[in-house]
C-alpha cells in the first residue's frame, strides 16, 4: 500500500475510533464516520471492505495501543525474571490507564461491556496471542502449568486495574466519599500489586510449609 493510502487508512481508523468510543458500535453510523474523516463510503469499503471491517480494524488498533504484541515478544526474550516481566506488563498498562481520555481505552471497554459481532474474531486474532505470552510469564513465576492457579493469580493481580478502566467517569465512582485522585489510587494499587506477587510466590509457599 502506498504511503498516502496508509495515511488515509490510519486517519479513518482514528476518526472512527473516536466516534465508536463516544457512541459505541451499535449507535455509531457510517455517515457520521465518513463526515468526520472527510471521506465517502467507497473509501471505507476500499480500505476495510465494510463497516464491520472498519470496526475490527479500530478494535485491533485500540488493543495495539493498550499493549502491542511486539513489545510482549521483546519482553519475553529479555533476560529478566518472571516477576520483572509481569511488573513490566503492569507498568505498561498503568501508563495507558493514566491516558484513559484516549479513545482506544473507551472503545475496548465498550466492546467488553457490550460485545459486537466482531468480538470472537478480535479475541482470537488480536487479544489471545498477547494473553498467551502474559500467561507464560505467570506460569514461569508460579512454577506451575495448572490453569486454575495461573488464571486465579492473574485475575487477583489485574482485576483492580481493570476496575479503574471500566469505572472511569461512571456515576457510582464519581460519588465515592473521599475518593483519592486517580494517580494516587493507581500508585497505591501498584504497591499492592507487588505485595500480591510476594504472597503468590512459590518461595513464600515453601517457607510457610
Topology, domain 3-62: Arc Repressor Mutant, subunit A (1.10.10)
How do the domains of the chain map onto residue ranges?
A: 3-62, 67-202
Cα–Cα distance for residue pair 45/36, rounded to 1 Å: 16
- List per-residue pLDDT tens for the chain, 209 residues long: 566 788 999 999 999 999 999 999 999 999 999 999 999 999 999 999 999 999 999 999 999 988 899 999 999 999 999 999 999 999 988 887 666 568 888 898 889 889 999 999 999 999 999 999 999 999 999 999 999 999 999 998 988 777 666 555 554 455 556 666 777 877 888 898 899 999 998 876 555 54
DSSP for 146-198 reads -HHHHHHHHHHHHHHHHHHHHHTT-HHHHT-TTPPPHHHHHHHHHHHHHHHHH
Q: What is the three-class DSSP state of 24?
A: coil
Measured CA distances, 78 to 86, 87, 92, 145 (Å):
12, 13, 16, 21
> What CA–CA distance (Å, rounded) separates 63 from 175?
30
- What is the CATH number that goes with domain 67-202? 1.10.357.10
Please tell me what DSSP assigns to residue 83. H
- So what's the pLDDT on residue 171? 42
Identify whether the C-beta of residue 87 lies closer than 8 Å to the C-beta of residue 193.
yes
Amino acid at each position: 500500500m502506498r504511503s498516502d493510502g496508509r495515511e488515509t487508512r490510519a486517519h479513518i481508523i482514528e476518526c472512527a475510533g473516536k466516534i465508536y468510543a463516544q457512541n459505541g458500535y451499535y449507535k455509531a453510523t457510517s455517515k457520521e464516520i465518513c463526515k468526520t474523516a472527510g471521506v465517502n463510503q467507497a473509501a471505507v469499503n476500499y480500505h476495510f471492505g465494510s463497516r464491520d471491517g472498519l470496526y475490527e480494524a479500530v478494535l485491533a488498533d485500540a488493543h495495539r495501543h493498550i499493549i502491542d504484541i511486539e513489545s510482549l515478544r521483546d519482553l519475553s526474550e529479555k533476560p529478566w525474571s518472571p516477576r520483572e516481566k509481569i511488573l513490566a506488563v503492569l507498568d505498561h498498562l498503568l501508563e495507558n490507564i493514566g491516558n484513559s481520555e484516549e479513545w482506544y481505552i473507551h472503545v475496548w471497554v465498550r466492546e467488553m461491556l457490550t460485545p459486537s459481532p466482531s468480538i470472537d474474531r478480535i479475541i482470537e486474532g488480536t487479544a489471545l496471542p498477547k494473553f498467551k505470552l502474559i500467561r507464560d510469564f505467570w506460569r514461569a513465576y508460579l512454577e506451575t502449568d495448572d490453569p486454575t492457579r495461573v488464571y486465579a493469580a492473574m485475575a487477583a493481580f489485574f482485576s483492580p486495574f481493570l476496575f479503574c478502566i471500566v469505572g472511569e467517569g461512571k456515576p457510582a465512582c464519581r460519588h465515592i466519599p473521599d475518593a483519592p485522585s486517580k494517580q494516587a489510587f493507581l500508585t497505591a494499587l501498584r504497591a499492592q500489586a507487588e505485595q500480591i506477587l510476594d504472597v503468590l510466590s512459590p518461595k513464600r509457599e515453601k517457607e510457610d510449609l
